[in-house]
């Protein structure tokens, strides 16, 4: 089904590559608005084309699509060092997008910068703070009430600083971006790890922390380590029960949760044309789960059709005229190549507890029995930013119609989350929503909901072992409902929908039958659904607020007594001394995602209040000393306490501390709170075997030292009661290892060496105490 080939760029002989010695002719192009909501902001295809021409002449080789878009946005294409996997690129993104949970801290940091207005088009999207309880209308009304203070802050901050505001109920940030802002060749950064969804429209959309967003909004070139490029060549065509989701489930199986780290995944090949634009978005969206910087597809007719359907005919025309810049060059080389034949791809589910554990439907029952996974499906949930398009809803509704025609209803609880107000209004008009309700489904608000833990689940007790199946992207322990015993499997909306009628995890709709109301046996036909609505999209309610041309007089209030919002105080500057005899707060055992470091769910309400949100710091991480969560020894008192409580005690007693972790530390969400909280509570360094990309950058931005063991086995030398010293900080320099002494309780010690990826600019962040401090120093 799939093959994988590693192509090391430096070892490719020149005979394998056709070099280009001619430059692209740069022509004057008609100005096209970046968005129908921003007529004064134009797409700079002329700059993209010119920069690609400059870089191609310098490198004298074919470029991948990823390289064209990245290098087309270089701040200085003439002089920028370009070495994949090594050099740091200084880039000029086209725009910034922020969801409400991360926008709070991003806007608080922007306010702290002292700048009067954002320098690039930026938007805020209210999608994370709406909890699924009863149904769409009731849940939205409740969210507007309990989150009024936060929504008012975001709305007024947007108006004052020139940021567009999408009100609660608008939909999920990534669907709104696809419908309104993404375009072929765009470089967009978003404060959410699933920002890569926009790659379905041929752009590079990259998840970042809020501090990175502040840099771009402040007109500072954005730094990104030049990614390697992993090619995924698709042949054949999707058919039957196989879906775009199955492509990324298979890629996750091949690359694992860290196999894409430091790389862009670029899909290409004849099989691409069998996938819809929103289907390509699904694949790019879940690319976050393999650690990829982002994912992208080449511009094609499916993208053009989607642009036209979303009233962007002018963008479609401009992109078509630019097509040579929006596809990879012939002969472009990839650092690694995966080949997948879509004709052979079968439906699958990944999980539980990790998004890279691959289970073909045909083997699911056997795997479940062997591993003791509960076979009864308690709840099936479709939607989320990964799978909530009109096409997704249509294919799921087709299955529901077949079930309704046979007189049966869902055996499992069944929830449906539309991706946007536009999708919601259109599926209501076209009857899909009613079909879902007819079979027992509950249509939730246009929001993230259970996918991010915003789910007031009542059907099982906490700690009760159970199974849910979702069309979401992430299934870490406790991710959806805070229950560590919930076994969550991610799959396509079609497979979720089929399973809710069987109620069984082992149900394979390709071969298994169900019993109709009249007692007869039947099998589902393969699902079908329109890619785009025949009658066009119904926009639904207008939920967008454009910032006023002059927002200087707008007042942004933050109540000093609020428990939801808190203005930021600058972090302390490095004192010029080595960091000696620091306490080891916790030595983390195994997987430690940003959900373990800073949980979502009920904690989302504190995302704008650093001190309050810090009370969840590392409470989900497992302490290797006792195999328990949120229980660490306080070296000053000898007593055990919660991780944030012990950290606060250390800070109050001016005792610096560190965290030691395992592989791919900080995978998952882009939430910078997982870096802000340790910094706020007194951390100085995080020492691990390896980092996830976004989290490592977030730690640097906040003045922390993300360090990795030169020898991964040195992790085993660290004891829970060690004193940790980092020496030679006065000689801190790019590429130079850092000396670390572990002083054990018995008086013995070990000296180990640590690596880092800091460049000169990032070292300045550490010296200044944070990137924001450094920005203020430079004004």
Environment class of 249 (CB within 10 Å of its CB; exposed 0-12, middle 13-18, buried 19+): buried
CA Rg value for the chain: 25
β partners of residue 311: none
Tokens of 267: 């899909």
Environment class of 289 (CB within 10 Å of its CB; exposed 0-12, middle 13-18, buried 19+): buried
Can you tell me the distance from the alpha carbon of 648 to that of 626, in angstroms, rounded to the nearest whole number?
Answer: 21
Q: How many CB atoms lie within 10 A of CB 126?
A: 27
Catalytic site includes residue 557: no
Tokens of 43: 């797409």
Catalytic site includes residue 518: no
Can you tell me the distance from the alpha carbon of 633 to that of 635, in angstroms, rounded to the nearest whole number?
Answer: 6
Query: Looking at residue 546, what DSSP letter applies?
Result: P
Ranges of residues in the chain whose predicted pLDDT is under 50? 4-27
Cβ neighbors of 231 (< 8 A, separation 6 or more) are 64, 266, 267, 268, 334, 336, 337, 338
Render 26-79 in DSSP notation, one character per residue: P------EEETTEEEEE--HHHHHHHHHHHHHHH-S---HHHHHHHTTBS-TTT
Active-site annotation holder among 73, 95, 122, 127:
127
Any idea which residue has 């439907």 for tokens? 361
Active-site annotation holder among 268, 302, 474, 607:
474
User: What b-and-e string marks burial along 645-666, b requiring 16 or more CB atoms within 10 Å of the CB?
Assistant: bbbbbbeeeebbbbbbbbbbbb
Catalytic site includes residue 192: yes
Active-site annotation holder among 669, 670, 690, 770:
669
Catalytic site includes residue 212: no
Active-site annotation holder among 192, 253, 329, 430:
192
Tokens of 449: 């909901």
Q: Are 660 and 718 in contact (CB under 8 A)?
A: yes
pTM: 0.91
Tokens of 259: 């196999």
**Vertex 708: Cα angle to 706 and 710 (nearest 5):** 150
**Vertex 134: Cα angle to 128 and 137 (nearest 5):** 70
Tell whether the torsion through CA atoms of 5, 11, 17 and 23 is positive or negative: positive
Environment class of 73 (CB within 10 Å of its CB; exposed 0-12, middle 13-18, buried 19+): buried
Closest CA to 177 of 291, 67, 306: 306
Active-site annotation holder among 61, 73, 95, 128:
128
Length of the chain: 779
Q: CA dist 445 to 18, 388, 612, 628, Å?
A: 52, 12, 27, 36
Q: Are 188 and 195 in contact (CB under 8 A)?
A: yes
Q: CA dist 383 to 248, 380, 472, Å?
A: 16, 10, 7
Catalytic site includes residue 194: no
Render 430-498 in DSSP notation, one character per residue: TTHHHHHHHTT-EE--SS-GGGGT-B---SS-TT--EEEEES-S---TTTTTS-TTEEEEE--HHHHHH
Any idea which residue has 């946007």 for tokens? 420
Catalytic site includes residue 312: no
Can you tell me the distance from the alpha carbon of 346 to that of 452, in angstroms, rounded to the nearest whole number?
Answer: 27
Question: Which helix (H) or strand (E) element contains residue 354?
Answer: none
Q: Are 421 and 170 in contact (CB under 8 A)?
A: yes
Question: Which helix (H) or strand (E) element contains residue 277?
Answer: helix 277-286
Can you tell me the distance from the alpha carbon of 367 to that of 363, in angstroms, rounded to the nearest whole number?
Answer: 6
What is the bridge-based pairing of β-strands 95-99 and 122-125? parallel
Can you tell me the distance from the alpha carbon of 690 to that of 35, in angstroms, rounded to the nearest whole number?
Answer: 39
pLDDT for 27 equals: 47
Q: Could you give phi then psi for residue 555, rounded to 5 degrees?
A: -95, 130
Can you tell me the distance from the alpha carbon of 771 to that of 126, in angstroms, rounded to the nearest whole number?
Answer: 27
Q: Are 427 and 433 in contact (CB under 8 A)?
A: yes
pLDDT for 722 equals: 97
Can you tell me the distance from the alpha carbon of 347 to that of 507, in angstroms, rounded to the nearest whole number?
Answer: 12
β partners of residue 486: 466
């Amino acid at each position: 089904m799939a093959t994988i080939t590693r192509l090391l760029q430096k070892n490719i002989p020149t005979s394998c590559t056709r070099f280009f010695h001619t430059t692209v002719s740069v022509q004057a192009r008609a100005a096209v608005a970046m968005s129908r909501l921003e007529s004064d902001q134009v797409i700079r295809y002329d700059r993209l084309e010119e920069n690609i021409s400059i870089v191609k002449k310098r490198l004298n080789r074919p470029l991948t699509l990823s390289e064209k878009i990245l290098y087309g946005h270089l701040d200085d294409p003439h002089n920028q060092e370009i070495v994949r996997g090594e050099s740091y690129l200084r880039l000029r993104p086209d725009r910034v997008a922020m969801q409400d949970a991360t926008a709070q801290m991003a806007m608080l940091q922007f306010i702290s910068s002292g700048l009067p207005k954002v320098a690039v088009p930026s938007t805020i999207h209210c999608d994370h703070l709406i909890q699924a309880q009863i149904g769409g209308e009731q849940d939205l009304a409740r969210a507007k009430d309990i989150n009024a203070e936060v929504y008012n802050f975001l709305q007024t901050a947007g108006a004052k600083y020139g940021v567009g505001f999408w009100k609660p109920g608008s939909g999920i940030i990534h669907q709104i971006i696809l419908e309104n802002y993404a375009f072929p060749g765009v470089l967009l950064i978003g404060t959410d790890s699933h920002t890569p969804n926009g790659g379905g429209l041929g752009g590079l959309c990259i998840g970042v922390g809020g501090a990175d967003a502040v840099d771009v909004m402040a007109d500072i070139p954005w730094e990104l380590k030049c990614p390697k490029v992993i090619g995924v060549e698709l042949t054949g065509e999707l058919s039957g029960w196989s879906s775009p989701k199955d492509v990324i489930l298979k890629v996750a199986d091949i690359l694992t949760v860290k196999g894409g780290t430091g790389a862009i995944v670029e899909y290409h090949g004849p099989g691409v044309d069998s996938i819809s634009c929103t289907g390509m978005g699904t694949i790019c969206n879940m690319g976050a789960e393999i650690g990829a910087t982002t994912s992208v597809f080449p511009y094609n007719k499916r993208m053009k059709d989607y642009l036209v359907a979303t009233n962007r005919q002018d963008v479609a025309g401009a992109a078509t005229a630019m097509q040579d810049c929006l596809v990879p060059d012939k002969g472009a080389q990839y650092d690694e190549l995966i080949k997948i034949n879509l004709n052979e791809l079968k439906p699958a589910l990944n999980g539980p507890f990790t998004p890279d554990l691959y289970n073909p439907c045909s083997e699911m029952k056997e795997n479940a029995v062997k591993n003791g996974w509960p076979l009864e499906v308690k709840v099936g949930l479709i939607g989320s930013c990964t799978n909530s398009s009109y096409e997704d809803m249509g294919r799921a509704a087709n299955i529901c119609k077949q079930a309704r025609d046979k007189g049966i209803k869902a055996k499992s609880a069944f929830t449906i989350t539309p991706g946007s107000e536009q999708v919601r209004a259109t599926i209501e008009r076209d009857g899909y929503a009613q079909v879902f309700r007819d079979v027992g489904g509950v249509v939730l608000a246009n929001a993230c909901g259970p996918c991010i833990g915003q789910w007031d689940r009542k059907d099982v007790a906490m700690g009760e072992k159970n199974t849910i199946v979702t069309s979401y992207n992430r299934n870490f322990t406790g991710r959806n409902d805070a229950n560590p015993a919930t076994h969550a499997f991610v799959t396509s909306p079609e497979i979720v929908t089929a399973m809710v009628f069987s109620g069984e995890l082992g149900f394979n709709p390709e071969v298994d039958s169900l019993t109709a109301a009249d007692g007869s046996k039947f099998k589902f036909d393969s699902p079908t659904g329109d890619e785009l609505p025949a009658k066009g999209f119904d926009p639904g309610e207008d939920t967008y607020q454009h910032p006023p041309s002059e927002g200087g007089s707008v007042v942004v209030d933050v109540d000093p007594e609020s428990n939801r919002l808190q203005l930021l105080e600058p972090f302390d500057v490095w004192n010029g001394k080595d960091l000696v005899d620091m306490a080891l707060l916790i030595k983390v055992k195994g997987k430690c995602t940003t959900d373990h470091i800073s949980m979502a769910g009920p904690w989302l309400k504190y995302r704008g209040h650093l001190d309050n949100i810090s009370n969840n710091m590392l409470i989900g991480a497992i302490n290797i000393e006792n195999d328990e969560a949120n229980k660490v020894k306080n070296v000053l008192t000898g007593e055990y306490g919660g991780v944030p409580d012990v950290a606060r005690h250390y800070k109050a007693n001016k005792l610096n501390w560190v965290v030691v972790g395992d592989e791919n530390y900080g995978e998952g969400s882009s939430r910078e709170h997982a870096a802000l909280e340790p910094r706020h509570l007194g951390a100085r360094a995080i020492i691990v075997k390896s980092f996830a990309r976004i989290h490592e950058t977030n730690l640097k931005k906040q003045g922390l030292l993300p360090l990795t063991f030169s020898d991964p086995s040195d992790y085993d030398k660290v004891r829970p009661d060690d004193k940790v010293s980092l020496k030679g900080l006065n000689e801190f320099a790019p590429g130079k290892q850092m000396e670390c002494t572990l002083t054990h309780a018995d008086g013995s010690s070990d000296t180990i060496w640590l690596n880092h990826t800091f460049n000169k600019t990032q070292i300045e962040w550490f010296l200044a105490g944070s990137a924001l401090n450094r920005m203020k120093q430079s004004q």
